[in-house]
């Protein structure tokens, strides 16, 4: 991870989307993956918010990395994250008030997301600004992709619609819009991604274990 001279920007993006996908590979920030993914719109909004906060936090932490005393680095990272969360919170509240009602509570929770803090600690505080941008973009896009896939299946199966437009005539599988179905969807998709990794890329699969 911390090999500054060997980093390629494309490799960083790829690492975020596939190699260390926040949800499906390292299993961090599963709380929003279950909580806001019962509609495709909610899941995508959350993903975009995290993409924004992750990238901006990485940039800020990377710029400030020489000035941060290691003893107080965690509170500083949280403060930086909180700043950008407030920005995205106010932006969403202003431009998407309807969707904000649904995901607003969880947007504020981004401050405590494990993935943001872990990338600030593991990458941005040890690397230059440009690689940090790409790491943040990669992780954010991996998160956005994961939440989009999960919420796509949950809305399709649970409500029989996509982005609010009804598609299926029969009664949908209600459990998928409830929290229990969120766990089913995350678990099954994680297993599916592991299967692809093992079958086609010769990986070892991951069991994960975060929150």
Partner 1 sequence: MAVMNEKEHARLIVSVSPHIRSDVSVSRIMWTVSIALFPALLMGVYFFGPRALFIVATCIVSSVFFEYLTAKVMGRPVTINDGSAFLTGLLLGMNLPSSLWSFSPFLIHVPIIGSFVAVAITKMLFGGLGYNIFNPALIGRAFLLISWPRAMTIFYKPTAAFLGFDAQTTATPLGILKEDGMNKLIEVFGTKSNLYLMKLIGQNAGSIGETSALALLIGGLYLLAKRYITWHIPVTFIATVAVVTWIFGGTDPATGKMVLFAGDPLLNVLSGGLMLGAFFMATDYVTGPTLRNAQILFGIGCGLITSLIRIKGGFPEGVMFAILLMNCFAPLLDRYVKRKPFGFRKEAAR
Smallest distance from partner 1 to CB 182, Å? 12
DSSP-assigned letters across all residues of 50-112: HHHHHHHHHHHHHHHTTTS-GGGHHHHHHHHHHHHHHHHHHHHHHH-HHHHHHHHHHHHHGGG
Whose Cβ is closer to partner 1: residue 45's or residue 189's? 189
Smallest distance from partner 1 to CB 209, Å? 17
| Six token digits for residue 131 | 């690689």
Whose Cβ is closer to partner 1: residue 142's or residue 172's? 172
Residue 136 CA to residue 123 CA, distance in Å, equals 9
Smallest distance from partner 1 to CB 172, Å? 8
Whose Cβ is closer to partner 1: residue 74's or residue 188's? 188
Phi-psi region of 123 (alpha: psi -120 to 50; beta: other; left: phi over 0): alpha
Whose Cβ is closer to partner 1: residue 30's or residue 157's? 157
Smallest distance from partner 1 to CB 175, Å? 4
Smallest distance from partner 1 to CB 157, Å? 9
The packing angle between helices 129-158 and 179-201, to 10°, is 120
Nearest to 26 by CA among 188, 199, 146: 146
Residues near partner 1 (CB under 8 A) are 170-171, 173-176, 178, 180, 184, 188, 191
Whose Cβ is closer to partner 1: residue 162's or residue 175's? 175
């Amino acid at each position: 991870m911390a090999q500054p001279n060997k980093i390629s920007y494309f490799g960083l993006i790829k690492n975020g989307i596939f190699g260390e996908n926040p949800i499906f590979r390292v299993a961090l920030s599963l709380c929003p993956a279950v909580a806001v993914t019962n509609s495709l719109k909610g899941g995508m909004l959350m993903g975009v918010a995290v993409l924004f906060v992750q990238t901006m936090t990485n940039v800020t932490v990377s710029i400030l990395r020489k000035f941060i005393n290691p003893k107080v680095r965690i509170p500083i990272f949280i403060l930086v994250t909180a700043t950008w969360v407030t920005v995205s919170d106010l932006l969403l509240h202003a431009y998407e008030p309807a969707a904000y009602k649904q995901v607003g509570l969880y947007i504020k929770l981004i401050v405590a997301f494990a993935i943001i803090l872990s990338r600030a600690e593991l990458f941005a505080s040890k690397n230059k600004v440009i690689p940090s941008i790409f790491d943040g973009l990669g992780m954010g896009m991996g998160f956005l992709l994961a939440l989009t896939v999960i919420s796509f299946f949950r809305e399709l199966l649970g409500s029989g619609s996509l982005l609010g437009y009804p598609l299926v005539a029969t009664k949908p599988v209600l459990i998928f819009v409830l929290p229990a179905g969120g766990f089913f969807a995350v678990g099954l998709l994680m297993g599916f991604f592991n299967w692809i990794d093992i079958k086609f890329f010769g990986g070892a699969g991951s069991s994960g274990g975060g929150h």
